[in-house]
Chains A and B, each alone.
Chain A
């Protein structure tokens, strides 16, 4: 029994080592890191006391000039960085009440390496001011990213209906 277990464990260890060595480097890592930086920024802005202007400048850096946001459910698409920033500013009191978290991010790099398609689930965690209880809402998105200079920017956001 002990010999069998040792053989199994050795095989598992060899397999894990081979997988680690043979798996190509994750070219989508900078894209994931950029989106994590966005959620960190949104979550930090709920507590750092920065004014709306400072937050807008921070958010601008994550969006392409011609960003296109389609939230589905019959809502009109939102086009352009200025429009998105304007809406975010108007929604700021509501945005400040939740935390944003990205889960299950899968990245497919474009052939040029300057574009990427990201499939993810966004979690919106709201905390009740009165009870302190947290409630969670989640939505699936496809996000088109584009590299502009050294930075990745969001060029397209499309909500995906998990249940149709």
Chain B
């Protein structure tokens, strides 16, 4: 009976609460290296939305394939990238997690009321090879916790 209860709790936890993921690609280096297991907390944003600096999992067509990106811009803010530096409402953002920066330039965008600006930590990549941009809250599956 204990085994059954444990199995039921494990199934519920890892299916609906703490989702295991395996990272691929280099866009979150050096924070997240490829081929490592991490967990996404689906309940992290039940009471409030993500905050700047959170690493989140973003759904594509569903929950099996996800982007893992960092939140840099919050709803209503203006975000631009100039010379590799992210600027929020015209003020450069301090990002201690970024080790290498390419000379990226991205025009300013203003986020909608439910939009966040997400980007990977590896800014040493070519800007064309790095997926980043605005994402709706509804696509954010949860917070990558460890």
Contact = CB atoms under 8 A, between A and B. Distances in A.
B96 interface: no
Interface in A1-38: 2, 5-6, 8-9, 12
Contacts of B70: none
Contacts of A160: 61
Interface string A133-155: 00110111100000000000000
B1 A105 contact: no
A164 interface: yes
Given A162-B139, A163-B133, A164-B135, A5 B64 contact: no
B62 interface: yes
B47 interface: no
- The residue in A9, A105, A138 that gathers the most chain B C-beta atoms within 10 A of its C-beta is A138
The prevalent SS among residues of A at the interface is: strand
A79 interface: no
Interface residues of B, number: 23
Contacts of B4: 5, 9
Interface in B57-80: 58-65, 67, 69
A121 interface: yes
B132 A140 contact: no
Contact of B65 (A103, A135, A161): A103
Contacts of A123: 65
A82 interface: no
Interface residues of A, number: 25
Interface string B127-144: 000011111000100000
A91 to B, nearest CB: 19
B62 A103 contact: yes
A120 interface: yes
A164 B1 contact: no
Contacts of B135: 162-164
A121 B8 contact: no
Nearest to A137: B25
B44 to A, nearest CB: 20
B118 A104 contact: no
Given A138-B60, A161-B133, A163-B69, 15 more contacts: A5-B5, A9-B8, A12-B8, A103-B62, A104-B61, A106-B61, A106-B62, A120-B61, A121-B62, A123-B65, A135-B25, A162-B60, A162-B67, A163-B67, A163-B133
15 contacts: A8-B5, A9-B5, A104-B64, A105-B61, A106-B61, A121-B64, A136-B24, A140-B60, A160-B61, A161-B133, A162-B58, A162-B60, A163-B69, A163-B131, A163-B133
Interface of A: 2, 5-6, 8-9, 12, 103-106, 119-121, 123, 135-136, 138-141, 160-164
